[in-house]
Structure 1
Amino acid sequence: MKILLVCQYFYPERFRVNDICFELVKQGHEVTVLTGLPNYPDGVVKEEYKKVRYEEINGVKVFRSWLLGRGSSNKTLFLNYLSFAISASLKALSLKGNFDKIIVYQLSPVTMAIPAIVAKKKFKIPLIMYTHDLWPESIVSGGITSKGTIYKSVKRLSKKIYKQADEIWLSSQMFKYYFNDYLEIDKQMTHLPVYAEDLFGSIPQREKDGEINLLFAGNIGEMQSVETILLAANELKERNDIVFHIVGDGSSKKRCEELKKEYHLENVKFHGSHPLEEMPYYYSIADAFLITLKDNKSISYTLPNKVQSYMAAGKPILGAINGETAKVVNQAECGFIVEAENHYALAKTIEKFVDIKNKEYLYRNSKEFYSKNYSKENYFINLSKALNN
């Protein structure tokens, strides 16, 4: 099959779309990627890519359209989104080929689908939206109020974009409620949850030393509600056997560090942000993983990718989170979940976990559920089925 994949981000930027494209080529598909100039996450276009407009990577044909770097402000981020939508649309008009399907690997922003819509009209072939971030809901994490004019305008635009798709693939099963009930979109939808990178499948087990180490890894933004973890740590700071580890960076990190200082939390350690290759070390520290999100109905539909990597590592999951993640963890019976933003309940749940004599079933259930539902092998079987549907 000849596939045109559109995504604003691609190698050397680190997103799972890279691995998916490379694997599709190995399976005999012809894959062409329409993307931008690498600038994530530092916001500056890499010098060696400023003049690169075409290259071939692991058999994938990559066309790069010009864009402005993300920068470090909301203004430059908006210009980054806009420049790609315009430049890549023009590039789509000049593309030559005999494609069978177009796939948008839709992260943020949803406007990265606009060039794919242009290509759909040019080549007259089906367009699939593979949705990983819900829009307009994702802009709330950037500080945009859901009651303001900007949000309402982005909602109208998002709705128009999603309606152009012939089919929508869902990284989280509960996304369908958002599309059906909130955006009033009725399309064919296929649930296609992602897998974890291979390096998370062979995490060494830590030697027991009497301490219980709990790890949160990932973005520390407004929607992640990592403050809930800090407040739970405050409830448990008299217990010398529980240590909280926070690995990552984001807009709310400073606030979390202030909470640590304000409450004198010696049981919390911030490790900063680290490249993917270094994460197995931090995963090996954990006796259990932590996951939190804000108490927001639409955001709760999301299944953060860290859930798959946590399970692949074969560790229990403790969280204060609603929706899809709570459903998955409870179904897997690999941890304990309380309602979002309830730090008192999270603290009680952590104590419950620590005091369990035999925890081995939680570790076993986590690994087995991943193997049955999220493994890389199963993913590509299901992807092939979806492509040939």
Structure 2
Amino acid sequence: MKILVVCQYYYPEPFRISDICESLVEKGHDVTVLTGLPNYPEGQVLNGYRNGKKRNEVLNGVKVVRSFEIGRGNNKLKLFLNYLSFALSGSLKAFFMKEKFDVIFVNQLSPVMMGIPAIVYKRKHKKKLLLYCLDLWPDSLAAGGINESSIIYKFFKKISQWIYNSADCIAVTSSMFEEYFRGTLGMYNKKIHHLPQYAEDLFTENKEVVKDDKYNFVFAGNIGDMQSVETIVKAANILREHSNIIFHIVGDGSKLEECKMLSKKLGLENVIYYGRRPVSEMPHYYGLADAMLITLKNNKAISYTLPGKVQSYMAAGKPIIGSINGETSRVIKNAECGLCCTAENYSELANVIIQFCNSNEKEKMAQNSYDYYIKNYSKERFISMLEDTLNNLEG
């Protein structure tokens, strides 16, 4: 197949879509990606992509077409301009694309407007569109503090419904997303497939183990408002007298400095920050962990999601400790691969961590984690399901 992929983010930004596209190329498909200029999570467009540079390139067999984009910056106005600039410039690129594709695939994170260029191409060339929803809109706005009764929320609800209804088929990462589409957005007749994410080969093939006399708990990923990493910091404060319990925070994001300042204010020595590390180094940090940590805000919309790091944690064969609600809590409990408490409940998280340290089930949790990944989230399963869905659309 000749596949047009539309996603605002692509390599060198750290998103799974790059691996998906390269895997499709390995399967013999011709893949072109329409994307923006790399600026996540730094907030500024990377030097090598400014002033018209690298607008067209081939990366590991994937043809990458980049449209103009304003860097996301560090405030809400810049973020809105970032979202809007890709939707507009990407739509222009899509309209003037001469190449004919068999099918269109939108990898939809936030914002949902990244789907608009795909709709432009779909309408002009009368091709089918598969939208893979990783972030629910407009509920992602509500999770970010936008009131559901506000004009902004209602406007983006209309936009979201139009974009989702424009897709011929929707795939979702979480089984609870389907409930949202049916109940909240009223999309009762839309084809919706459950297509959970997978972990990159790096995590399944490199199981480095770092042994010491401590209990090491590792959080890896974006450190933003939704991730509620301050819950870990506050739990660490409760456990500060337990000198054998250490917390490792690997990643970057809008709340990193705030978390560092909180750790400093509390005088914590049991929390170590590493910043954003190359993907190639992540097996080391995973190998350090006795268990991996996942936290999210106490929010209805956020509870629908199953963050991609869950699959990475499982693929590495690690127990998971969560302060989290909804779909992720359900998966961890079903897999019997860790322990959970409610979202943002830092005192209960501290209790759960002590419970884990005293447990005789650590090795069983680790094995359950990996087994559940292989059965439900393997890369081979994902790519096969994606190919089948795209083929059915093309036909």
Deviation at 1:151, TM superposition (A): 2.3
Q: Give the whole-Å Cα distance in 1 for the aligned partners of 2:240 and 2:358.
A: 16
Task: Report what 2:295 is aligned to.
Answer: 292
Bigger relative contact order (CA 8 A; separation at least 6): 2
Cα shift at 1:319: 0.8
Aligned to 1:170: 172
C-alpha separation between the residues in 1 aligned to 2:111 and 2:300? Answer: 20
Query: Which residue is equivalent to 2:379?
Result: 376
The normalised TM-score by structure 1 is 0.94
- Deviation of the 1:180 alpha carbon: 1.5
Sequence identity percentage:
56
Match of 2:209 in 1: 205
Deviates more, 1:93-102 or 1:304-313: 93-102
Per-residue CA distance 1:255-278 (angstroms, 9 max, x = gap):
323332343333222222222222
Pairwise CA RMSD: 1.9
**TM-score, normalising length from structure 2?**
0.92
Query: Quick one: which amino acid aligns to residue 181 of structure 2?
Result: F
**Per-residue deviation at 1:371?**
1.4
Determine helix, strand or coil for the equivalent of 1:134. coil
Farther off after superposition, 228-237 or 192-201? 228-237
Q: Deviations over 1:152-174 (max 9, x none)?
A: 22222112211111110111221
Change (3 A) 1:220 1:141: farther
Taking the aligned partners of 2:71 and 2:141, their CA distance within structure 1 comes to: 19
Once residues 40 and 226 of structure 2 are traced to their aligned partners in structure 1, the CA distance between those partners, rounded to angstroms, is: 20
Aligned to 2:97: 95
Q: Which amino acid aligns with 2:386?
A: L
**Counterparts in 2 of 1:151 and 1:371: CA distance versus 1, 3 Å:** same
Question: Which residue of 253, 272, 294 corresponds with 1:269?
Answer: 272
Could you tell me how far apart the structure 2 residues matched to 1:200 and 1:149 are? Answer: 43
Q: Which moved more, 1:34-43 or 1:185-194?
A: 34-43
Runs of 4+ in structure 1 over 4 Å off: 140-143
Given that residues 209 and 284 in structure 2 are in contact (C-alpha distance below 8 angstroms), is that contact kept between their aligned partners in structure 1? no
Q: Is the 8 A contact 1:85 1:112 kept in 2?
A: yes
In the alignment, which residue of structure 2 is the partner of 1:189? Answer: 192
What code does the residue aligned with 1:203 have?
Answer: K
Matches within 5 A, 1:303-342: 303-342=306-345
Task: Number of aligned residue pairs: give it.
Answer: 388
Aligned to 2:222, what secondary structure does the other structure show?
coil
Match of 1:249 among 252, 257, 263: 252
Name the SS for the 2:131 alignment partner: strand
Q: Assess if the C-alpha contact under 8 Å between 1:141 and 1:222 holds in 2.
A: no
1:126-148 Cα shifts (integer Å, max 9, x gaps): 11111111112223455534443
Asked if 1:4 is matched to 2:4, the reply is yes
Task: State how far apart, in whole Å, the 1-side matches of 2:25 and 2:162 are.
Answer: 32
Q: Which residue of 2 aligns with 1:38?
A: 38
Residues of 1 paired with 2:346 and 2:41: CA distance? 31
- Cα gap change, 1:240 to 1:53, in 2 (>3 Å): closer
Distance 1:73 1:345 in 2: 32
Evaluate the alpha carbon distance shift between residue 246 and residue 146 of structure 1 in structure 2; reply closer, same or farther with a 3 A threshold: farther
Partner SS state of residue 298, structure 1: helix
Structure 1 distance, partners of 2:211, 2:62, is 43
Alignment of 1:359 with 2:362, yes or no, is yes
Pick closer, same or farther for the CA change 1:46–1:351 going to 2, 3 Å: closer
Decide whether aligned partners of structure 1 residues 236 and 191 sit closer, same or farther in structure 2, where only a CA change above 3 A counts.
same
Question: 1:242-297: CA deviations, max 9, x gaps?
Answer: 11122222233333233323433332222222222222221111100111111111
Give me the whole-angstrom Cα distance separating, in 2, the residues matched to 1:48 and 1:204.
33
Aligned twin of 1:157: 159
Of residues 40, 57, 60, the one that matches 1:58 is 60
Structure 1 residue runs of 5 or longer lacking an equivalent are none
Distance 1:13 1:342, change over 3 A: closer
Residue aligned with 2:252, SS: coil
2:223·2:254 contact (CA, 8 Å) conserved in 1? Answer: yes
Structure 1 residues 257 and 104, CA, compared in 2 at 3 Å: closer, same or farther? same
User: What is residue 263 of structure 2 aligned with on the other side?
Assistant: 260
Deviation string 1:16-71 (CA, Å, 9 cap, x unpaired) is: 11111111122121222222233333233344433243333333232222222323
Q: 2:217·2:292 contact (CA, 8 Å) conserved in 1?
A: yes
Q: CA deviation at 1:308?
A: 0.8
Distance in 1, matches of 2:124 and 2:323, equals 46
Partners of 1:66 and 1:261 in 2: CA distance? 40
